[in-house]
Amino acid sequence: MRLRFNQETIILAAKLALQNSHAHAGSFAEFGMDEAYFTALAKDVADAEQIAGELHHRIDLMQLTNRKREALAACWIWGRKLRIRLEMAYGRSSVQTRSFPANEFRKTFTNENEMMALMEVLIHLAQEHQENLLVHGQTEQVTAEGERLLQSLREADMLQESKKVGKKSATQERHRLFHYLYNESNRINRIGRMMFADDPVTAVLFESRWHSVRIIQKETVENQGAAVLMSAAA
């Protein structure tokens, strides 16, 4: 479920709820909110702050995506060169050149799974016609390079998929933590308002401020948008 407020806002609300309830710990003790509870909540807030400041998971995934795109592009270029060499060795309309799977090859430009499957066929084709393609630059080293490129693409794809699984798990854990802090902040404030109903000065510490926070968020977004428009106009 999507968070109702951004991470920084939830962290701030949780900090205030923790600070105010801890300062009046005696009134919260009958709800089982003892020192161990406050210590655990403080750790959750600290964990949330660390998570909110971490970008390396997203950066790593972007780097792996770029790496896979580069490997896919290198395989594509290698395959195009093989097709040209087949044409040069046997002629464009020859049986040997038509054995190159041109239609399937076009689909591999943006599809790593199609490319990984087809590269095996292309490498076998290069090996089969190695002798006649040699004079046109398809050396054994070039064919071996095709095998290396295929392996690089497989590794890049495997690493990216593994990172995606880890990112999904981390995202689920982050959402769980921030939903907990959001709900716990509301619970603390609800108890505080009840316990200090006859003490307006203290009760005000536990008032719900989500509505005012939402207004501040809206104004911040609008101000940022106005700044962008002014910058573009300048």
Burial pattern 106-137, b for ≥16 Cβ within 10 A else e, equals eebeeebebbbebbeebbebbeebeeebeeee
Q: Return the closest-CA partner of residue 33 out of 191, 166, 143.
A: 191
Asked if pLDDT for residue 92 goes beyond 90, the answer is yes
Give the pLDDT score at 58.
Answer: 60
pLDDT for residue 39 is more than 60: yes
Q: Flag whether pLDDT at 55 surpasses 70.
A: no
Judged by DSSP in three states, 94 sits in coil
What is the rounded average pLDDT of the residues 145-156?
Answer: 95
The reported pLDDT for the residue numbered 229 is 41
| pLDDT, average across residues 37-49 | 93
Which residue segment(s) compose the domain that 158 sits in? 1-234
Share of the chain above pLDDT 90, in %: 65
| Count: domains in the chain | 1
Give, as one character, the DSSP assignment of residue 208.
-
Tokens for 124?
């076998």
pLDDT digits (tens, 9 = 90+) for 158-197: 888 777 766 666 677 888 899 999 999 999 999 999 999 9
pLDDT band at 63; cut points 50, 70, 90: confident
Give Cα 10 to chain centroid, integer Å.
Answer: 21
Q: Is the pLDDT of residue 1 over 80?
A: no
Q: How confident is the model at residue 151 (pLDDT cuts 50, 70, 90)?
A: very high
Yes or no: say if 56 and 167 are a contact pair by the CB < 8 Å rule: no
Residue 216 confidence class, pLDDT cut points 50, 70, 90: very low
Given a cut of 90, is residue 44 above it in pLDDT?
A: yes
pLDDT for 195-212, tens place per residue? 999 999 999 999 987 766
Question: Using one digit for the tens of pLDDT, what is the confidence trace for 94-142?
Answer: 999 999 999 999 999 889 999 999 999 999 999 999 999 999 999 999 9
0.85 cut: is pTM over it? no
